[in-house]
C-alpha cells in the first residue's frame, strides 16, 4: 500500500506490506523511517531535522552523490553532492510478495545538474523492503565521456547506547582517520566509542554488527563509520543527539572511487537487518 503524504514542505511516500513500513521523501530519495513490525525503528532521525526544500535531512539514509564530502576542487558546491537535495521521480512500487516490496526512484541529468556537474547520467535507487532493508544505488553513465564518481549511502542507525556499542567485523581493516588526518591505521578488535569517530575503512568484506543490527556492503569494500560525540555535536544544530545514533555507511571513496566509462553502470548495495 502506497500513500503520498507531506512532512513540512516535502512530499514523501509511505509504503507498507505485511512485514514493514517505510517513508521516503521525493527530495533526495531519502529514506527517513523504516520499521519492521514488532521491532523498534531501524533508522535514527534527528528531532531537529529540517524537511525543507534544498536542505538535506539529518538522519535516515541520505544519498551522497556524485561526490562524497566536499567537492574535490570547488568548495562552493554542495557538500556530499546534489543528489540528496534534488527532486527524484517515483518510477514504480512492485509487490514481489505480501512480505516484500520493491520501490524504484530515479534522478536524471538536467540543466540544473549539468550546471553543477557536466555529465549526463541516470541514477536509480532500488529499495527492497521486507524484514530486511536492501538498497541498490545504480549509476549509469549516459554521457559520451568517462566520469569519476564517489558516493555513499550515509545510513544513520538508531542504537540503544553509544557508550556500550561495539562494531564487530572491522578487525584488521586499514582506515583513514579523518579526525586526525592519518592514513596508516589498522583496526584492532572491535570498534568502541569514547570520542569523536570519523573513519573510512577499506578492504571491508565482513558483515558488520552493532547491537542487534547487521550491515553488509556490496559493490565496494569501503565503509565509513561516524559519530560526532559531545564536542562536535555543538556545531551541528540540526543533530539533536549523538548517544543513540551511529552512522555505518556503504561508500565508494578513496581507493574505491569509481571511473565509469561511457555506457557503463555500477551498483552500490547496502543490506541492513535486525537480529530476530
pLDDT digits (tens, 9 = 90+) for 202-220: 999 999 999 999 999 999 9
pTM above 0.85, yes or no: yes
Calculate ∠ Cα 110-115-121, nearest 5°: 40
- pLDDT of 1 > 80? The answer is no
Is residue 9 a contact partner of residue 51, using CB atoms and an 8 Å limit?
yes
Is residue 18 a contact partner of residue 99, using CB atoms and an 8 Å limit?
yes
pLDDT-derived band of residue 2, with 50, 70 and 90 as boundaries?
A: confident
CATH topology of domain 2-274: Beta-galactosidase; Chain A, domain 5 (2.70.98)
d(CA 130, CA 39): 13
d(CA 151, CA 258): 9
- Peptide bond preceding 179: is omega within 30 degrees of 0, i.e. cis? no
Alpha carbon of residue 106 to chain centroid:
16
Amino acid at each position: 500500500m502506497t500513500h503520498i503524504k507531506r512532512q513540512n514542505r516535502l512530499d514523501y511516500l509511505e509504503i507498507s506490506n505485511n512485514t514493514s513500513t517505510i517513508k521516503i521523501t521525493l527530495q533526495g530519495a531519502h529514506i527517513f523511517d523504516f520499521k519492521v513490525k514488532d521491532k523498534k525503528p531501524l533508522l535514527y532521525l534527528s528531532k531537529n531535522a529540517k524537511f525543507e526544500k534544498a536542505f538535506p535531512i539529518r538522519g535516515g539514509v541520505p544519498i551522497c552523490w556524485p561526490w562524497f564530502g566536499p567537492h574535490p576542487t570547488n568548495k562552493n558546491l554542495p557538500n556530499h553532492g546534489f543528489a540528496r537535495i534534488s527532486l527524484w521521480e517515483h518510477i514504480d512500487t512492485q509487490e514481489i510478495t505480501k512480505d516484500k516490496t520493491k520501490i524504484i526512484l530515479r534522478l536524471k541529468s538536467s540543466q540544473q545538474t549539468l550546471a553543477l556537474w557536466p555529465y549526463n547520467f541516470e541514477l536509480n535507487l532500488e529499495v527492497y523492503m521486507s524484514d530486511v532493508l536492501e538498497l541498490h544505488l545504480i549509476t549509469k553513465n549516459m554521457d559520451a565521456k568517462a566520469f569519476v564518481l564517489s558516493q555513499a549511502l550515509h545510513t544513520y542507525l538508531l542504537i540503544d547506547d553509544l557508550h556500550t556499542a561495539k562494531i564487530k567485523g572491522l578487525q584488521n581493516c586499514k582506515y583513514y582517520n579523518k579526525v586526525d588526518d592519518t592514513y596508516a591505521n589498522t583496526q584492532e578488535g572491535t570498534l568502541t566509542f569514547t570520542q569523536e569517530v570519523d573513519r573510512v575503512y577499506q578492504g571491508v568484506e565482513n558483515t558488520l554488527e552493532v547491537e542487534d543490527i547487521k550491515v553488509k556492503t556490496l559493490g565496494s569494500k569501503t565503509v565509513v563509520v561516524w559519530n560526532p560525540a559531545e564536542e562536535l555535536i555543538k556545531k551541528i544544530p540540526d543533530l539533536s543527539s549523538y548517544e543513540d545514533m551511529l552512522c555505518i555507511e556503504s561508500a565508494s571513496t578513496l581507493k574505491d572511487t569509481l571511473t565509469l566509462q561511457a555506457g557503463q553502470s555500477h551498483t552500490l548495495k547496502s543490506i541492513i537487518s535486525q537480529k530476530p
